[in-house]
Structure 1
């Protein structure tokens, strides 16, 4: 099997090598999405825990649970709004 990274062009790679490269790219993208998701969960946890939990105990009271749910929902809403706005701006910028 030839080394497709030793200065040779990807266009000279076999179909099998191209398929392997595409699969590797897909796997890297999936892992990046997982890492981004985990980072977002940690952010939710940090922000909402600090906001909603006065003192840790063995179980959540209804006020803390409601606060956590609302906090995470607002965080998600805000993230989606910012993401959608950014996407709109990028699309408008790409049309000119």
Structure 2
């Protein structure tokens, strides 16, 4: 039973990660890619994608830390 629980927990975490990556990809793609993609992103598109991902990760870390602090103070 413990092995099954551990397996399910890992699979749920994996699914959550894939969902986050999908959402991040969709959000940043829609925001940054304004023309038909070619073999290479323009410098503006590459910069936008980098900044979008960085801001998404910064925001996610901020929210996680805020929730942890809130739990610890309760």
- TM-score if structure 1 supplies the norm length? 0.72
Normalized per residue, the structure richer in helix is: 2
Structure 1 residue runs of 4+, over 6 Å off? none
Q: Unaligned regions of 5+ residues in structure 2, if any?
A: none
**Whole-angstrom CA distance in 2 between matches of 1:51 and 1:57:** 13
How many correspondences in the alignment? Answer: 73
The residue that corresponds to 1:52 in the other structure is 32
**2:54 counterpart of 1:73:** yes
Give the number of the structure whose alpha-carbon radius of gyration is greater: 1
Q: Quote the offset at 1:51 in angstroms.
A: 1.0
Deviations 1:27-73 (A, max 9, x none): 11110111110111111111111111111222211110111011001
Q: Which residue of 2 aligns with 1:42?
A: 22
Aligned to 2:67: 86
Root-mean-square deviation over aligned CA pairs: 0.9
